[in-house]
Homo-oligomer: A and B are copies of this chain.
Amino acid sequence: MPDLADISIRQHVMAALSEDIGHGDATTEALIASDSSGRAKIIARETLTIAGVAVAKAVFVELDNEASIDAHFEDGEEIQSGECILTVSGQLRSLLTGERTALNYLQRLSGIATQSARYAKAVSGTGVLILDTRKTTPGWRLLEKYAVQCGGARNHRRGLDDMILIKDNHLAALSSECAIAEAIRRARLISPDLKIEVEAETLDQAQQATEAGADIVLLDNMTIEELRAAIKLIDGRAQTEASGGITLETIREIASTGVNYISAGALTHSARAVDISMKIES
């Protein structure tokens, strides 16, 4: 499990609180004395895979650095409806002011973890790894890629800087005859430290990429038959990744083609927020 660096969490949380609080939490300041203290429970309202416990903690600590927080589960665990995830004791004002922000983080990140766990489970036993994509919420790359791991899937490249991925638009921009081989040659020369992946929409492109020495071939939007043919043609000379239109219904059959990785944007860009709520104990 990766670290969620404290530095990054804290700045994210501070910006989120500032955005929500604005000029002040008018309701809480009017109703609750500044020296009142209390306790709150954060509770799952459906079955889910949890992610973001440290972020939720950071929300309450930012507002009350003497708050006492007990986490009853760790990121990556499956939680049943009704189970208590966190107990927070501290200033009542901080509990009330932080509630929505803490839940917004937990619901979104756990939604992604839960979705990722479903995808990972669908291919369990096949040896195929599920990967995410760069289709993340701007500003949330680190957090969402972390949630994907909490669900048992893996991360594809984290940004434009840690891998060469030659896509259709790069080839369209290059527009020369032997574009794939030439592109791989240039990339290897400039960035000898990076792996090279090439997107192939046809068997011919898959063959060009393989012969030019790509480390990974991304088989994009192919049918099951095309995938099988491509994998046979590549024959272990490069690793293979299937992508495009992946759903929970089709994923197991895709895995059966012998592909190494399956990547799905839906892990991050369309995960439904899971239901989690907070209760102040009176």
Contact = CB atoms under 8 A, between A and B. Distances in A.
A81 interface: no
A29 B3 contact: yes
A182 B174 CA distance: 41
A134 B104 CA distance: 9
Listed residue (A99, A173, A261) with the most chain B CB atoms within 10 angstroms of its CB: A173
A183 interface: yes
A154 B190 CA distance: 7
Contacts of A24: 2-3, 5, 142, 158, 160-161
B27 A164 contact: yes
A15 interface: yes
A129 interface: yes
Interface in A80-119: 92-93, 95-97, 99-101, 103-105, 107-108, 111
Contacts of A278: 169
Given A135-B104, A137-B104, A138-B16, A26 B194 contact: yes
A160 B239 contact: no
A270 interface: yes
A36 B221 CA distance: 29
A228 interface: no
B142 A139 contact: no
Contact of A97 (B101, B160, B174): B160
A194 B111 CA distance: 27
Interface residues of A, number: 106
Contacts of A104: 134-138, 269
B32 A282 contact: no
A34 B19 CA distance: 24
Given A96-B173, A193-B157, A134 B20 contact: yes
A141 B2 contact: no
A235 interface: no
Nearest to A18: B7
B96 A170 contact: yes
Contact of A3 (B93, B101, B135, B183): B93
Interface of A: 1-3, 5-7, 12-32, 34, 36, 38, 40, 62-63, 65, 92-93, 95-97, 99-101, 103-105, 107-108, 111, 129, 131, 134-142, 145, 154-167, 169-170, 172-175, 183, 186-187, 189-195, 197, 215-216, 239, 260-261, 265, 269-270, 272-273, 278-282
16 contacts: A1-B34, A5-B21, A13-B138, A19-B141, A19-B159, A23-B141, A24-B142, A26-B162, A27-B165, A27-B170, A29-B190, A30-B164, A95-B169, A101-B138, A103-B135, A104-B269
